[in-house]
Amino acid sequence: MDQLFNPKSVVVIGVSENPDNLARIIVENLFEFQFNGEIFLVGKKEGILFGRGICTSMEDLREGIDVAVILTPAQTVPGILEACGRKKIRWAIIESGGFSEYSEEGAALEKEVLRIAKKWGIRIVGPNGIGINNFENGFVVAFPPLNRKAVRKGKVSLLVQSGGVSLTYLNLLSSASVGISKLVSMGNKLDLNEIDYLQYLIQDPQTEIIGIYLESIQRGRELLEIARSTSKPIILHKANIGEASKEIAKLHTAALANDDRIVETALKQADIIRAKDFRSFINAVKVLSLPQMGGNDLVILSRSGGIAIIAADSAERYGFRLFPMKKNFQERIHSYFRAKVIQPTNPLDLGDLFDFDLYIKILEQVLKIKAVDGIIFQHAAIGDEMQPSRRLIPAAKELSFRYQKPVAFCYLTEEEELAYIKRSFDYPIFTEPEDALSALAISREHYRKRKISREKPPSYSFNRSHVKRLIQKTKKEKRDLLLPEAFEVLKAYGIPVADYQVVQKKEDLKKALTKIKGPVALKVISPEISHKSDVGGVVLNIHDPSEAEKVYSKMNKLAQRRFSGILVQKMISEGKEVILGAKRDPSFGPVVLFGLGGIYVEVFRESSLRVAPINRPEAQEMISELKAASILKGIRGERPLDVKALVGHLLKLSQLMMDCPEIEGLDINPVKVLEKGAIAVDARILLSKT
C-alpha cells in the first residue's frame, strides 16, 4: 500500500481545459501541493493543461503507472478500469458518485467495477469520495480546491467515510495547531476499507495519531484486534447511532444491549477513544499530542481566580484530585507576590503577578513535583500584554515535554490574537477550562485502559465435547436448548446450578421432592415458553407432593402440545439476584453482559457490557462500574457477597461464547450471589438458525 500513498506516477482521468471541470481541480491540487512524481492526463478532448498534454485514449499511456485517479460519469468507470488493467495500473482511486449510494442501478454498477478490478488485480479506493491525500509528499487528489498555505502538516492521519466530513476535519486540525499527515476519504468502501488503511497507518512512521470517522462498522472485531496491536492512539467519531440490529426478543440481554452500547463498550475495551462530535474529537487530538496524563493529581495555574474556580469545578466532575501543595512550596510562591493578598493554594491564582517569566518559573517548579500528574495552565491577555504573553506557549511546550507531563494551555484572549497564535505555534491551545479538563480525562483514561487491555484472558479446561454434542443434537431437532440442557452447558463450564430434578411423569414428583430437601420451585419445560414467570410457568415455595401435583397439571395445560415435563429445583432464598448474559453482535461478535435485579433487570436497566474474550480486570470492571454494585459489598450491616465468584462466572461465560459460535444468545437469570459462591437459578440459551 506504500505505492498508493507514495506513488512515483499518477494518471488523472476525466480532465479537460474547462475551468469548471472537477478532474482539472485534482490536477491543480497536485501542483499546488508540489507533487514531484510524473503526472499524466486523460480526457475526451485533446488539449494542454498546466503544460501537460491531455491524451484522449488510455492506450496512449505507457504501462505501469502507479495510480489512476478517475472522476468520470459512473457508467464509464468499468470500461476505464478495463483499460487500467491492460496498462498494468494496480491502484485506482474512483472519486465518481452515482453508485450504490444513489440507486439500485448504481449498486449493480459497483458489482461490475469490483468484478473487473479482481480480474486485473486492481485495488480500489472509493468510489464516491475525495480519495487519498498525503500532505507529506504532495500527493493530494481531492477534487475540491485546497490551499497549501492553509493546511498545517502534522502527525495525525484521518480515515473518513464522508468527503464533506474529510474537509471539515482538515480545516479543524489545521487551525488547532496540530496539523495533518494523511487524509483518506473512503467513500463507499467497495474494496479497501478502514481495516486496510489502519494496517498501513499503524506502520507509517509519519503517523502518530489516527483519527477515524465512520457511519457504520461492519468489521468491528478486526478493528478491535488491530487497535490492540498498536501503541498509537486511535480516535473514532462514530455517527449514525441507533438500534438497527435485529433483536433476540426472547432474551433480556438483547433488550439491554443495543447497537451503540456495544460500540461504546467495544471501543473502550480496545482503547479506542470515542468522540461524539467534532469538538470532542479535536480536543482528544490536542491532548494526545501532549505527554500522557498518568494519574489523577492535577494542579491548576490561573491568572484569574474566578476562572480557576470554574476549572476546579470541572476537575471534580472528571474525577481529578487537586494536588495539595506543601507549606514550604506555598511560602516560596508567596514570596514572588507583590501585594501578598492571595494565598498560593491549588488552584494557584497568579493574578498578583505581572512578570510572565515568573509564570514560567512557577510552572517548572510545579512540574518538578513528582506526584503531580498534569497541569492546566490558564492565561488571559489583552492589549499590550498579548505580545509578551506569546513566549509562554513555547515555554509551556518545552517544559511539558522535558518533564513528560501534560500542560493543557488554556488561553483567553481576543479572537484575532487567538487566530495568530494557532497559526504561529505548533502547540495545542484550549479556549475554555471544560475543554482542557475533558481532554486531560481522555488522556488519563487512554493510558489506564491501555494497561488493562493488554492483559490476556484466563484459559480454562472445560468439557467442550459434551457441550458440542448437546448443541448439535438440538440443532438437528431445529430447536433451542431446554432448561435442563442449558443447565448442563453451564455445569460443563464450571458455573454451578441450584440442585434440581427433571420430572416427566406426575407420579415421579414425590421421589424428586424427597431428593431435594426444603422448599422447591417448579418450572415448566417447553420450547414454546421463553419467560416462564410471565405466563405462570414458575411456582415457588412448594412443600408437599399434593400441591406439586396440582401445579404439574396446570403446567401441562400451559405448555399444551410441547410439554417436556417440569423442573423441580431447590429454592435459594438468601443472596442477591443478578443477571449474566451474552449475545452475538453481527459486527463485534460475542458480547457478555452483567446486570443487577434478576426478574426486574429490564426495569432497572442498569447493566454493563464487554466484547468477549474478557480478561480479569475487565470482568471486575463490569461489576464495579454499576451504581448499584455497592449492594454486593454489603450495606446497612449486611455481610459482603462473593464478587470474586461472579468475576469467575463472567470469565467462564466469555470462554463459552468464544468456544461455541452456534450460541446466538444466552441469559443466566437470575444468578444468586451468596456470601460464598454464586449459583445459577435459571437459564436460557438460543442457538443460531444457520
More confident residue, 257 or 574: 574
All three cell numbers of 528, joined, read 414454546
Average pLDDT over residues 610-633: 91
pLDDT at 601: 64
Please check the confidence at residue 105 and state whether its pLDDT lies above 90.
yes
> Could you state, in order of their start, the residue ranges of all structural domains in the chain?
1-129, 151-289, 291-427, 464-570, 576-687
pLDDT at 341: 46
Band of residue 338 on the pLDDT scale cut at 50, 70, 90? low
Q: pLDDT for 450-497, tens place per residue?
A: 877 778 888 888 989 999 999 999 999 889 999 999 999 999 999 999
Compute the average pLDDT of residues 612-632: 91
Domains 151-289 and 576-687 in one fold:
no
Write the class of the CATH domain 1-129. Answer: alpha beta
Classify 141 as helix, strand or coil.
Answer: coil
Q: Which helix (H) or strand (E) holds 60?
A: none
In this predicted structure, what is the pLDDT of residue 629? Answer: 83
pLDDT at 451: 76
| Band of pLDDT at residue 249, cut at 50, 70 and 90 | very low
C-alpha 409, offset from chain centre: 27
Phi-psi domain of 409 (left: phi exceeds 0; alpha: psi -120 through 50; beta: other): beta
The percentage of the chain sitting over the pLDDT mark of 90, rounded to a whole number, equals 69
Nearest to 321 by CA among 374, 379, 378, 399: 374
> 464-570, which class in CATH?
alpha beta
Measured between alpha carbons, how far is 96 from 689 in angstroms, rounded to an integer?
40
Q: Looking at the predicted structure, is the pLDDT value of residue 537 above 90?
A: no
On the question of pLDDT at 256 being above 50, the answer is no
pLDDT one-digit tens code per residue, 188-213: 999 999 999 999 999 999 999 999 99
Question: Which residues have C-beta within 8 Å of that of residue 100, sequence separation ≥ 6?
Answer: 106, 107, 110, 188
Fold (CATH) for 151-289: Rossmann fold (3.40.50)
How high is the pLDDT of residue 250? 46
Q: Which three cell numbers stand for residue 102?
A: 444513489
Strand 520-524, strand 566-570: pairing: antiparallel
Average pLDDT over residues 263-278: 91
Q: Between these two residues, 585 and 638, which has the higher pLDDT value?
A: 585
- Please provide the CATH number assigned to the domain covering 576-687: 3.30.470.20
- What's the chain's average pLDDT? 90
What letter would DSSP give residue 347? S
C-alpha cell belonging to residue 326: 506543601
Specify the pLDDT at position 352.
72
pLDDT digits (tens, 9 = 90+) for 387-399: 999 999 999 999 9
- Could you tell me the CA-to-CA distances from 81 to 54, 61, 76 in Å, in that order? 18, 14, 9
Per-residue DSSP letter, 536: T
Report pLDDT for 252. 46
Question: Ranked by mean pLDDT, which of 63-77, 152-166, 319-333, 354-368 comes out on top?
Answer: 63-77
Please report which confidence band the pLDDT of residue 600 belongs to, taking 50, 70 and 90 as the band edges. low
Please give the pLDDT value at position 435: 94
Lowest average pLDDT, out of 171-180, 326-335, 342-351, 493-502, goes to: 342-351
Q: What is the DSSP letter of 66?
A: S
Q: What is the pLDDT of residue 164?
A: 87
Residue 540 corresponds to which amino acid?
A: L
Res. 242: pLDDT tops 70: no
Run of H or E including 666: strand 663-673
Residues 270 and 225: their CA atoms lie apart, in Å, by 8
Q: How far is CA 521 from the centre of its chain?
A: 43
What length is written for the chain?
A: 690
Report the pLDDT value the prediction gives residue 603, as an integer from 0 to 100: 58
Reported as a single tens digit per residue, the pLDDT across 171-194 is 999 888 889 999 999 999 999 999
Percent of the chain whose predicted confidence (pLDDT) is above 70: 94
Residue 8 has pLDDT above 60, yes or no: yes
Say which amino acid occupies 646. L
Look at 240 and 392; give whichever has higher pLDDT. 392
How high is the pLDDT of residue 656?
Answer: 97
Interior angle at CA 605, CA 603 and CA 610, nearest 5:
150
Q: Is the pLDDT of residue 605 over 70?
A: no
Determine if the peptide bond prior to 347 is cis (ω within 30°). yes
Q: How many CB atoms lie within 10 A of CB 562?
A: 11
Of the candidate CATH numbers 3.10.20.340, 3.40.1390.10, 1.10.3210.10, 3.40.50.261, the domain formed by 291-427 belongs to 3.40.50.261
Q: pTM for the whole thing?
A: 0.86
